[in-house]
Amino acid sequence: MAQPPRKILVIRLSSLGDVLLTSPALSSLHAAWPGSEIHFLTRKPMLPLIQFHPAVSKTWVYPAGKKELARLKKDLRSEQFDLVADWQGNFRSFPFRRLGKESVSFKKYRFRRWLYLKFNRPFTPSPVPVRYLETLAPYEVPDSGAPVSWVLPEPTRQEMTRRFLAWKTTDGPVYFVAAGARHETKRYPAIYFIQIMKMLAELQPAARFILLGGPDELETASRIKKEFSSDDRVWNAAGGFSLAESAVILKNCDGGLTNDSFLMHAATAFQVPVVAFFGGTTPQLGFAPFRSPALIAEDEKVTCRPCSHIGRESCPKGHFDCMNRLHPEAWFPKIYHFLISEQVKP
C-alpha cells in the first residue's frame, strides 16, 4: 500500500476482554496513520469499551437478525474501505473481509496452541494486544508502546467518582476484589480471597475493599461480603453497576485482587496494580496483564495446566490443584510487598 489507507474497518465482535485489548493496536494505528478514518465493528455489549477511543471515528453494531445483518453489510460496503483488519478471525467475521480493497486477519495458532494444551509443547506467542498489531506487519505499522486504554464518558466518571469518595471515609488504600470469572477453572477459591482480605485488613487497618463483578458474580461476592457483614469497609458493588460505572470505581482503587478475567484487563487500562491468580489458564496464552503493574500468582509445578485456553466448568482431574495450591499464607508476603511497593511509587 503506497499511501496510508483512507478508511479502515476493524472487526472484533467479542468478548469483553478481547475487545478492550485491541486498544493498544488502535493507538498504534492512529499514531502511524493519523489521517486515516478507523471504523470498529463489534457487538452491542462491547460498545462502551471502544466507542470513545480517540482512534475510532465510528462504531458499528453486529446485529442478531439475518435481515439486519444483510443491511449492515450493505451499509458497510458503501463506505468503500481500503483495508479491513479482521481481529476476530472466525466464520462470522470472514465475510466482512471482502468489504475492503485489502484485508488482514488475526492468527490464532490453533494447532500450536493445541500441542501446548495437549502435550505441553513450547508455545510462546506475543501478547494478544501485540498480535493484533502484528496482523499489520505487511504495512509496517510500528508499535507505539501504548498500554491498554479505556476512555469513559465524563458524566459517568464524575457521578461515580462522587459516590466513591462519599463511601471512602479514610485515607487508607482501597482494594478492589474481582472474585468471579466466566469459567470455574479460572476462579480462585472465595475462601482464599477472604483470607487475603483479612490479612491485608490486619496489617492496614485503614484499608477498604470493593467487590466488583457482573450479575453472574453476585453470588460469590455476596458470600465474601457475609464474612464482613458488620464491616462497612467492604462495599459489595458486584452486579449493581454498568461496565462504565464499575470501571470508574476500579479506576479510583489503589490495587486489586483478580482472576484471569475481564476486570484484570480493565485494571490495566487504568494502570491499577493487580494481583492476578492464574489456574487452569496460563499467561503464555497471551492474556497476561499488559504494560501495567502486576503480580501473577500461579503454581508452575502443576503439570496438568493449562487445561484450556479459555477455562472449563470443572477441573478435568478433579483436584483443582492449580488454584487450591495457591495458599494465601504462602503467597501473602509477595502480595503485600507488591501492593505496598506500588503505593509508595512517586
Q: What share of the chain has pLDDT > 90, as a percent? A: 95
Binned at pLDDT 50, 70 and 90, residue 68 comes out as: very high
Give the mean model confidence (pLDDT) for residues 291-319: 96
Q: Are 227 and 323 in a shared domain?
A: yes
pLDDT tens, position by position, 4-52? 999 999 999 999 999 999 999 999 999 999 999 999 999 999 999 999 9
Q: Is the pLDDT of residue 3 over 90?
A: no
For residue 32, give every residue at least 6 positions away whose Cβ sits within 8 Å of its Cβ, in sequence order, or none. 4, 141, 142, 144
Query: Which of 94, 112, 139 marks a domain boundary?
Result: 139
- SS3 state of residue 92: coil
Distance CA 67, CA 186 (A): 38
Q: Are 318 and 213 in a shared domain?
A: yes
Binned at pLDDT 50, 70 and 90, residue 170 comes out as: confident
In a domain, 252, yes or no: yes
pLDDT tens, position by position, 225-237? 999 987 789 999 9
Q: Is the pLDDT of residue 288 over 80?
A: yes
Q: Are 110 and 176 in a shared domain?
A: no
Distance CA 124, CA 145 (A): 20
In a domain, 162, yes or no: yes
Binned at pLDDT 50, 70 and 90, residue 286 comes out as: very high
Give the mean model confidence (pLDDT) for residues 290-313: 96
Number of domains in the chain: 2
Neighbours of 258 (CB within 10 A): 29
CA 282, distance to chain mean position in Å, is: 15
86: domain CATH number? 3.40.50.2000
Give the mean model confidence (pLDDT) for residues 70-99: 97
Binned at pLDDT 50, 70 and 90, residue 169 comes out as: confident
Query: Which of 139, 162, 189 marks a domain boundary?
Result: 139
pLDDT at 93: 96
CA 159, distance to chain mean position in Å, is: 23
What's this model's pTM, rounded to 2 decimal places? 0.95
- SS3 state of residue 238: coil
Domain that holds residue 102: 7-139
Task: Please report the beta strands in the chain, taking only residues with DSSP state E, as ranges in sequence order.
Answer: 7-11, 37-42, 56-61, 81-86, 100-105, 174-178, 208-211, 234-236, 255-259, 274-277, 294-297
Across 52-56, 232-236, 245-249, least confident range: 232-236
In a domain, 71, yes or no: yes
Distance CA 124, CA 221 (A): 34
Q: Tell how strand 81-86 and strand 294-297 pair up.
A: unpaired
Which grid cell sits at 165?
469518595
Q: Are 120 and 192 in a shared domain?
A: no
pLDDT tens, position by position, 183-209? 999 999 999 999 999 999 999 999 999
pLDDT at 230: 77
Residues in the chain: 346
Distance CA 226, CA 234 (A): 10
297: left (phi over 0), alpha (psi -120 to 50) or beta: beta
Give the mean model confidence (pLDDT) for residues 109-127: 93
Q: Is the pLDDT of residue 1 over 60?
A: no
Query: Which of 113, 139, 165 marks a domain boundary?
Result: 139
pLDDT at 345: 67
Q: Are 101 and 166 in a shared domain?
A: no
Distance CA 320, CA 343 (A): 33
